[in-house]
Amino acid sequence: MFFLPKAAYFHIPFCVNICHYCDFNKVFLKGQPVQEYLTYMEKELQHTLAAAPTEGMETIFVGGGTPTALSLQQLETFFTMVSSHFSFAQLQEYSVEANPEQTSLEKLELMKAHGVNRLSMGVQAFQASLLKELGRSHTEEDVFRTVEDARRVGLTNISLDIMFGLPRQTVDHLKETLEKAFSLDVPHFSAYSLQLERKTVFYNRAAKGELLLPEHEEEARMYEVLMEEMEKHGYTQYEISNFAKKGYESKHNLQYWNNNEYYGIGAGAHGYIHGVRHENAGPLKKYFQAIDQAGVPYTASHTLSLQEKMEEEMFMGLRKREGVDDSRFIKRYGRSFFTVFGTQIEALIKRGLLQKEGTRIALTKQGVFLGNEVFQEFIGVTTV
């Protein structure tokens, strides 16, 4: 069983500078064949839609890399391409990732003119020393200016990314960052702990013992402070790493957490179409060559079994604080998750990591801190 995709992710891999923690597919912008890349993205999109048509988009997310590193003309080309292939009649959310120092008033006006209605901005911290440590090139002033400019053109649905557990970061640093972030009065925050990913500057420095990270207890305290401050300022934690004022939850990310299918277009993008998860070639030359040869740039594809779909429904859905509902599960898979995963659910409830309310199960507060342990219990389960 599969559902028609109503969400699309577009990957723009170009960056003016490379952050020390980022493991997403990206390349330095200077000297890159950006216009050619946009042409190939359209070829991939055309081939994808021919094989898997849609009735219309509900959400679109443009990520990277740094989408706003593109010039005005390049952004115009991209946005025109997207709107020429999708109906926006059902579109609820159109998000673009932005770096503050590369997001001019003119680019924001262009986004607004093409139907973009949400801005997701990478801030991470408000201390110049921490930003330098991260390899970020923006300033506090850039953030405030970009938020003001976005509102000036009518883009009021703004999300800020915050990070914790950073090298040399303290709880007081995080409190200061949150205080300044709250002063901007944006409706959404995404907040992530630092993960050391292979092939990043931080990973290599950590391997050499050169990265001074907070102790585990201090990082846990940062997460606790984060949740307390968000609640105090009127933001609901609707997912492990996401907080929103009512009505401003990320509709696109909910497509992922609800285990819905989506198009993934661009070098290094991942997609989920007709029950098949696929990964695109990352290097630009390989991406171009694959599209020339096959129309799509897939380097890996996996058809999910019914068991795998049920597992994903659980560990993706449990990221949401509302959890997962058995009635939805039965509608999708013809079986109750209390039957499929009854042993795991019972054990996690006894450990105080899950709670049950009617037909719904969700993480407890303790379970939020130990989410990965909970999710692992639903992977590789043998069922009859």
User: Which pTM value belongs to this model?
Assistant: 0.95
pLDDT tens digits, residue range 123-144?
A: 999 999 999 998 898 999 999 9
The residue to which tokens 């560990």 are assigned: 315
CB 197 within 8 A of CB 23: yes
Convert the pLDDT of each residue in 14-70 to its tens digit.
988 888 888 787 888 899 999 999 999 999 999 999 999 988 899 999 999 999 999
Output the pLDDT for position 268: 96
CATH 3.80.30.20 residue ranges in the chain? Answer: 7-257
pLDDT tens, per residue, the chain with 384 residues: 456 799 999 999 998 888 888 878 788 889 999 999 999 999 999 999 999 998 889 999 999 999 999 999 999 999 999 999 998 999 999 999 999 999 999 999 999 999 999 999 999 999 999 999 988 989 999 999 999 999 999 999 999 999 999 999 999 999 999 999 999 999 999 999 988 888 888 888 888 888 888 899 999 999 999 999 999 999 999 999 999 999 999 999 999 999 999 999 999 999 999 999 999 999 999 999 999 999 999 999 999 999 999 999 999 999 999 999 999 999 999 999 999 999 999 999 999 999 999 999 999 999 999 999 999 999 987 664
List, in order, residues 6 or more apart from 194 with CB less than 8 Å away: 21, 163, 164, 165, 166, 167, 202, 213
Quote the CA–CA distance of 37 and 10 in Å, as a whole number: 12
Tell me the CA distances in angstroms from 360 to 15, 121, 166, 226, 323, one per residue in order.
42, 33, 35, 26, 7
Q: What is the dihedral of CA 136, 131, 106, 36, to 10 degrees?
A: 10
CA dist list (Å): 384 to 13, 306, 341, 355? 43, 12, 11, 25
Start-end of CATH 1.10.10.920 domains in the chain: 306-376
Which CATH number is 306-376's, of 1.10.10.920, 3.30.70.980, 3.50.50.60, 3.40.50.300? Answer: 1.10.10.920
Q: Return all residues near 227 (Cβ < 8 A) that are at least 6 apart.
A: 237, 368
**CATH class of the 7-257 domain in this structure:** alpha beta
Q: How would you classify the pairing of strands 236-239 and 263-265? A: unpaired
pLDDT value at residue 230: 98
Distance CA 139, CA 355 (A): 43
For the chain, give the mean pLDDT.
Answer: 94
Residues facing residue 189 across a β-bridge: 160, 243
C-beta of residue 230 within 8 angstroms of C-beta of residue 237: yes
